[in-house]
Amino acid sequence: MNVLTKILCIILTYGLFIAGCATVPITGRRQLVLIPYFELQSLSSDNYRQILAKSKLSQDAEKVRMVNNIGNKIAWAAEDFLRENGASDIAGRSHWEFNLIEADKTVNAFAMPGGKIAVYTGILSYTQDEAGLAVVIAHEVAHVIANHGGERMSQMLLAEFGHTIVSKAVSEKAETTRQFFNLAYGASMNLGLVLPYSRLHEKEADRIGLILMARAGYDPGAAIWFWQRMNEAHTGSQIPEFLSTHPVPQTRIGDIKNHIPEAMKYYNKRGGVQDEMPRLCKL
């Protein structure tokens, strides 16, 4: 075993050790997290401010209020759920903030570590009502409490380490050989790690999001109708699932239907939208 191979083994062993120390709430999946959460918060907060500074925030008071009200309810439900299930170390570490960005052609929303979430106005035509919007926001809140951002960055760090080792191992080879190994490594990491984990994160956020919206008092069945609308609107633009960062809509809807009974237990227990909840972010 040469020095480079030993280094790679040490990195992988360390990564697996850390992965055993972090667990995704609700799903119980062990995950790889190499970056302290407070560092992720600082980095994501700066990036979030930069994005907002370059974006046009919606001036529609009613829509902005709706995004914040739904976000508050779901964030409160998430924090409450974490405390009830022995994850107090995760509860309270995020500083939740929700913004509505004016971009009618952008059908999207995103979340950053630390509870920084933004919704684009383009997705509102698909959410249609509060329950539909709750599907989107709960999905993004789920990404935050599952620390998918930290896991993704950790995977990128290991991938970079691996690329450095591969590059050094073939540094004395011919140029065509170096190019071949670099391209092969990049393709294998993308198809074997980055894309599969991205789809896993999306599926995980769907499942966790259903539970969070149910605990906040929104019918999780709204997720089916939302994704059916999304599917009908984008039927002709789908790429094969193994090349995508997200599950194809048909897969997604099927998984959601399987998780609806789990989420309905919380919805039936709560019995409707709760209006009296602490405010967790600015309106």
84 is an active site residue: no
Alpha helix locations (H) across the chain? 3-19, 37-54, 61-84, 124-127, 130-145, 148-169, 175-189, 195-215, 222-233, 249-270
Looking at per-residue pLDDT, the higher value among 250 and 215 belongs to 215
pLDDT digits (tens, 9 = 90+) for 140-175: 999 999 999 988 888 777 777 666 776 677 777 777
Closest CA to 123 of 38, 184, 63, 203: 63
Query: How do residues 29-79 score in pLDDT, each as one tens digit?
Result: 998 888 888 888 988 999 999 999 999 999 999 999 999 999 999 999 999
Residue 59, classed as helix, strand or coil, is coil
Tokens at 20, concatenated: 């055993």
pLDDT of residue 282: 37
The predicted structure's pLDDT at residue 278: 42
* Average pLDDT, integer, range 186-200: 66
Mean pLDDT over each residue of the chain, to the nearest integer = 81
pLDDT by residue (tens digit) across 81-109? Answer: 999 988 888 888 899 999 999 999 999 99
Written as six digits, the tokens of 124 are 């509102």
Query: Who has greater pLDDT, 19 or 56?
Result: 56
**pLDDT band at residue 243 under the 50/70/90 scheme:** very low
| Cβ neighbours of 47 (radius 10 Å) | 13
The residue behind tokens 């994850």 is: 87
pLDDT-based confidence at residue 255 (cuts at 50, 70, 90): very high
Residue-range domain boundaries for the chain: 3-270
CATH class of 3-270: alpha beta
As a whole number of angstroms, the distance between CA 70 and CA 127 comes to 13
- Two structure tokens written together for 70: 């739904």
What's the pTM value of the predicted model, to 2 decimals?
0.80
Q: Which of 79, 97, 140, 202 is catalytic?
A: 140
- Tell me the per-residue pLDDT of 175-191, one tens digit each, with 9 for 90 and over: 776 676 566 656 655 55
- pLDDT for residue 174: 75
How far apart, in Å, are the Cα atoms of 17 and each of 24, 32, 146, 155? Answer: 15, 8, 18, 14
